[in-house]
Structure formats: structure tokens, C-alpha cells
Amino acid sequence: MNPAFRRFRSVLAANAPARISFWVLAALYLAAIFAPWLAPYAGDDESRACSWAPPSALHVRETDGSWHVPFVRAVSYTFDDDALRVWTEDSTCRFPLRFLHGGHLLGLGEAIASPGQRVSDPVPAGRLYLLGADARGRDLLSRILLGSRVSLTIGVVGVAISTLIALVVGGIAGFAGGWADSVLMRLCEVVMLVPAFYLLMLLRAALPLDWDSRVVYFYIILILSFLGWAGLARILRGMIQSLRQSDFLAASRALGLSPWRILWRHALPQTFGFLSVQATLSIPGYIVAESGLSLLGLGIQDPQTSWGNLLEEAMSIAEIRLHPWTLLPGVFLFAAVLSWNLLGDALRDAFDPRSLS
């Protein structure tokens, strides 16, 4: 294990894109872990009067020219003749930015009257929309952060389960041989033959369309993990077969160790290097698959959030032009996928020096 770790470190040291990717991913996953704290608002915290609000303008100077802690003003809209929203800022008061406020990293303080004004009653709704709002006035940044918990973890968990299945299937086939081997390998080939999208559709069709939204996450992982195990199982089986026949194992058996123990303690660890590279390369595929499913309305649905779900709102082209910030989840998605790809690529080169660089 240790030499693998060292090799990993040297890969990062040598390869700049991989290094950047590593830190990007670290940032994304940390953000996902701390999302409820990092996000200014809860996922379904609506402010319907601010529906489709553009990203908040941060001011530092008040109406009289004085300097202040960065603040935002309350916004409201009216419809023009083309039924487009026209936004106006309420300059009677300001809402200062506040750190570590009310259980969140960032938030807004109480309304403070502007020079020569009084805070109106009722107090206007001051909202911090760093990346804009959606149709119901929910903060997009908060939803992206909260959605990352689903999108990023589904990839990792899905790959983990896939790998586990592949290990079991490949292990049994490689070790047992005989008819078990043939049956399992035929099964793998059949599953690999179905193009991923159609396999997704097939699995989705087998499940009821009206999921309890809580159960959705679980089901989607199940479906996704069904995608990748077959190819991996085949390779693992080959690796285990060759290990089985190697001298190393013959020697162990001569010493009287049981086959399972050999498999567990010696054969499998040899595959870890390969497996980690495979996993890293597969994760992006799972992230994209979940986003795609949710985009089609077959995956995560409101009120749960995932990046694919957020992009579903952007699917109406009319919306994109009026509210271009709805495409931002795609940027995050792209960043995550690109980072995993670059990292995986560097790892693969590192673990297999024969591949073309």
C-alpha cells in the first residue's frame, strides 16, 4: 500500500494538470461535505417575490458616498409589456454581508437604514444571490452546493459497489474456474453488449415511475452500479487467473495456507493499483450518467437536488437566454469530470509505464 501512495504523490508532483485536478476535487468534495454550512440558504428556502433574481450586486458605497462592509439591497420586480421582469433595488436600506452568521458561513445581517431613510415596514426581503435565483427564488449557489452532495457521492458510491460486485464475480470466476467461470463470463459479455444508455432505460423501466423521492437516491445507485461491473469483472478474473497460476501462489499453498486466505491477503492486494486507476477513470462516467438521468426526469427529482436536476431547469431554451445562470451547474459538472479524467489519466500513466504518454 505504501509504495502505491508514494507513487501517487510523485505523480502529482510531476504532472501539473493532475495536481490542479486533485486540489479541485478536494475542494469540491470538501464543499459537498460542508455544504449545509457553506451554503447561505437551505435547499428549499424560497423567496417567491425574488423569482429569477439575477446575481446580487454587491455594493460598498452608500448613497451618500460613505464606505461600508459589502452589502446588498432588496430587489423587487414588475413585468414590462413583453412580460419580462424589470428589477429595481430598494435603496431605503441595506443588508450587510456577515460571516459565520446563523449556522452558515455567509449570510446577510439585519436591514440597516440608508442615510436619510427609514427601514420600511414590512421589511423588504433581502436575499444574497451570489449566482442568481431560480423560479421560486431559491439561491442557485446553495442548491449547487447541496446538489453536489448527491452528484459527487453517487459517483463514488456507485463505483465502489460496482467494484465490489466485480471483485466477487471476477474473483469467483478466476479462482473457481470450470463451469462457474464460463457462466459468469458469458453473463459479463451479455451485460457489456448492451449500450449503457439502453441498459439505463431498461433498468429504469423495470422500476415504478412514481418513486418515493427518498428512495430515489438508493435506486439510482443500484441502477448505475449495474453499468460498470461487467467489464471490470472480466479483467479481474483474468488477473486472478494469472495470479492463481503464478509461482507466488503455488509457494503459498505449499506452505499450507487456505485458498480464500491466499485470495484475500495476497491475490487481491496485487490488483489494488489497477483498481484504483479504473475507479478514478470510471467515476466521471457515473457522475455524468446520474446527471443525464436526472436531466431526463428519470432520476433525482424535486425537492431533492442534484446537478442534473438543476440542469433540467435549464433545459427550456427560453429560460437560458433570460436566466443564463441556470447553466452554471453544468460548469461544476464539467469541472468535476475534467478533474477526475485528468487525475485518472495521470494515475494510469504512472501505474502503467508502457502506455503512451
Taking the C-alpha atoms of residue 71 and residue 60, their distance in angstroms, rounded to an integer, is 6
Judged by DSSP in three states, 244 sits in: helix
Verify binding: residue 190, other proteins, rule CB under 8 A: yes
Cell (9 digits) for 43? 435547499
How far is the C-alpha of 357 from the C-alpha of 343, rounded, in Å? 14
Decide if residue 17 touches other proteins (CB under 8 A): yes
Query: Cβ atoms within 10 A of the Cβ of 222, count?
Result: 13
Choose the stretch contacting other proteins; rule: CB under 8 A; options: 106-114, 144-152, 252-260, 339-347: 339-347
Q: Please state the closest distance from residue 281 (CB atom) to other proteins, in A.
A: 11
**Residues 199, 205, 207, 209: is their CA dihedral positive or negative?**
positive
CB of 197 to other proteins, least distance (A): 4
In the window 297-336, what residues touch other proteins (CB under 8 A)?
Answer: 297-298, 301-303, 311, 314-318, 320-322, 327, 330, 333-334
Asked if 171 contacts 240 with a C-beta cutoff of 8 angstroms, the reply is yes
Residue of the chain from 157, 161, 211, 219 that contacts other proteins (CB under 8 A)? 211
| Radius of gyration of the chain from its Cα atoms, rounded to whole angstroms | 26
Stretch 281-300 residues interacting with other proteins (CB under 8 A): 284, 288, 291-292, 295-298
HSE of 113, CA atoms in CB hemisphere, 13 A:
7
Q: Does 84 bind other proteins (CB under 8 A)?
A: yes
Binding marks (x or -) toward other proteins, 124..163, rule CB under 8 A?
-----------xx---------------------------
User: For residues 311 and 337, what is the distance between their CA atoms, to the nearest angstrom?
Assistant: 16
Segment interacting with other proteins (CB under 8 A) among 62-70, 75-83, 161-169, 267-275: 75-83
Q: How far is CA 240 from CA 91, 188, 260, in A?
A: 71, 16, 12
| Under rule CB under 8 A, residue 51 binds other proteins | yes
For other proteins, which residue of 345, 346, 347, 349 counts as binding (CB under 8 A)?
345
Residue 201 lies near other proteins (rule: CB under 8 A) = yes
Give the ranges where the chain is alpha helix by DSSP (H): 2-14, 16-33, 35-38, 140-176, 178-193, 196-206, 213-244, 247-254, 259-261, 268-295, 307-314, 317-322, 328-351
Nearest approach, Cβ of 322 to other proteins (angstroms)? 6
Chain contacts with other proteins (rule: CB under 8 A) = 17, 44, 46, 48, 51, 79, 82-85, 135-136, 186-187, 189-191, 193-199, 201-213, 284, 288, 291-292, 295-298, 301-303, 311, 314-318, 320-322, 327, 330, 333-334, 337-338, 341-342, 345, 356
